[in-house]
C-alpha cells in the first residue's frame, strides 16, 4: 500500500529541475534573440539588408521551436503534463521543419556565397559541415527524446541537448569582441561549456551524473572533432562542391 502525504506535508517536486530547464529555455532564447537582433528580430531598427523568404521562414520556424520549448517547460512546472504531451505532436512537426528548412538554408546560402563570390568568414565548402553538423545533432537528440518520452528523466535532458545543439549560430553572432575574433574551435568550446554547466548543476542537485550528459556530451564533442578534421579534406571538399552546385 502506498502512503498518501497528509495535509501540511511538504512534497518534494524537484525545484532544482524546474530551475535548470527554465534557465535553459530563457538563456537559449536570450542568446538567439541578442545574436540575431540586428539581422532578424530588430532589423528594422538597425536597417540591415532585406532577407529572402526562405530566411524569414527559417527565422520563424526556429523561433517557434524556442517558444514551444519554453511553453513545454512551463506546462511541466505547473503540472499540466496532459497538455504537455499533446503539444509534443506539434513539437515533432516543428522539429521536422527545423531540419528541412535549416538544411535548405545551409545549402542555399552556401550556394550563394560560392556562385557569387560573396564575402564570408570561411569558404562555403569548408563552412558547410558546421551547420549540417548542428542539424544532425538536433535530429539525433530530438529523435532520442521522442523515443524515450515515457522516461521523463531521459526525455527532458535530451530536449535540453537538442536546444543546445542549435545554439552556436546565436553564440557566433553575439556582440562580444572575443566572439568576433574567435575561431571555430573556440565557438565549439563555448557551446560545450553550456553543456558542462547544465550537467554540473544537474549532478550537484541530484547527487549523480545522469547518463544522458555523458553520452550526449560525447556525441557533441565527437561530431565537433570530426567536423574540424574532415572539413578541409579533399574528399569532403568534392562532396560539398557537388552539394552546393
Can you tell me the distance from the alpha carbon of 35 to that of 172, in angstroms, rounded to the nearest whole number? 7
At 55-91, the pLDDT tens digits run 999 999 999 999 999 999 999 999 999 999 999 999 9
Please report which helix (H) or strand (E) contains residue 89, including its range: helix 81-116
**Residue 111's pLDDT band (cuts 50, 70, 90):** confident
Tell me the average pLDDT across 47-57.
93
Q: How many CB atoms lie within 10 A of CB 193?
A: 10
Whole-angstrom distance, CA of residue 109 vs CA of residue 78: 41
> Residue 174 and residue 9: Cα distance in Å, rounded?
46
- Helix 152-165, helix 53-77: angle, nearest 10: 150
- pLDDT(125) > 90: no
Cell for 8?
Answer: 501540511
Mean pLDDT across 155-167: 95
How sure is the predictor about 4, in pLDDT bands with cuts at 50, 70 and 90? Answer: very low
Contact between residue 54 and residue 100 where contact means Cβ atoms under 8 Å apart: no
Residue 177: which pLDDT band, with cuts at 50, 70 and 90?
confident
Residue 119 has pLDDT above 70, yes or no: no
The answer to whether the beta carbons of residues 136 and 223 sit under 8 Å apart is yes
Angstrom distance (rounded) from CA 118 to CA 101: 22
Question: Does the pLDDT at position 163 exceed 70?
Answer: yes
Residue 65 cell numbers, joined: 521551436
Residue 123: the pLDDT is: 83
Please report which confidence band the pLDDT of residue 137 belongs to, taking 50, 70 and 90 as the band edges: very high
Predicted confidence at residue 197, as pLDDT, reads 95
Burial, 210: exposed, middle or buried (Cβ in 10 Å; 0-12, 13-18, 19+)?
A: middle
Burial of 43 (0-12, 13-18, 19+ CB in 10 A): middle
Express each pLDDT in 186-220 by its tens digit.
899 999 999 999 999 999 999 999 999 999 999 99
120 — pLDDT class (breaks 50, 70, 90): low
CB 69 within 8 A of CB 25: yes
- Model confidence, pTM: 0.88
Amino acid at each position: 500500500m502506498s502512503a498518501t502525504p497528509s495535509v501540511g506535508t511538504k512534497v518534494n517536486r524537484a525545484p532544482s529541475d524546474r530551475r535548470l530547464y527554465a534557465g535553459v529555455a530563457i538563456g537559449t532564447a536570450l542568446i538567439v534573440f541578442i545574436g540575431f537582433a540586428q539581422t532578424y528580430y530588430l532589423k528594422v531598427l538597425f536597417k540591415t539588408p532585406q532577407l529572402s523568404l526562405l530566411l524569414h521562414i527559417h527565422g520563424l520556424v526556429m523561433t517557434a521551436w524556442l517558444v514551444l520549448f519554453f511553453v513545454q517547460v512551463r506546462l511541466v512546472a505547473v503540472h499540466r503534463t496532459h497538455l504537455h504531451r499533446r503539444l509534443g505532436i506539434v513539437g515533432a512537426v516543428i522539429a521536422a521543419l527545423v531540419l528541412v528548412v535549416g538544411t535548405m538554408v545551409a545549402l542555399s546560402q552556401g550556394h550563394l556565397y560560392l556562385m557569387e563570390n560573396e564575402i564570408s568568414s570561411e569558404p562555403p565548402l569548408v563552412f558547410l559541415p558546421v551547420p549540417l553538423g548542428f542539424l544532425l545533432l538536433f535530429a539525433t537528440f530530438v529523435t532520442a527524446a521522442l523515443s524515450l518520452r515515457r522516461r521523463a528523466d531521459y526525455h527532458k535532458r535530451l530536449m535540453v541537448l537538442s536546444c543546445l545543439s542549435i545554439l552556436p549560430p546565436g553564440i557566433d553572432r553575439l556582440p562580444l569582441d572575443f566572439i568576433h575574433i574567435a575561431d571555430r574551435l573556440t565557438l565549439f568550446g563555448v557551446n560545450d561549456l553550456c553543456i558542462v554547466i547544465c550537467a554540473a548543476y544537474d549532478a550537484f542537485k541530484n547527487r549523480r551524473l545522469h547518463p544522458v550528459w555523458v553520452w550526449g556530451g560525447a556525441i557533441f564533442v565527437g561530431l565537433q572533432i570530426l567536423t574540424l578534421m574532415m572539413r578541409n579534406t579533399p574528399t569532403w571538399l568534392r562532396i560539398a562542391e557537388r552539394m552546393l552546385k
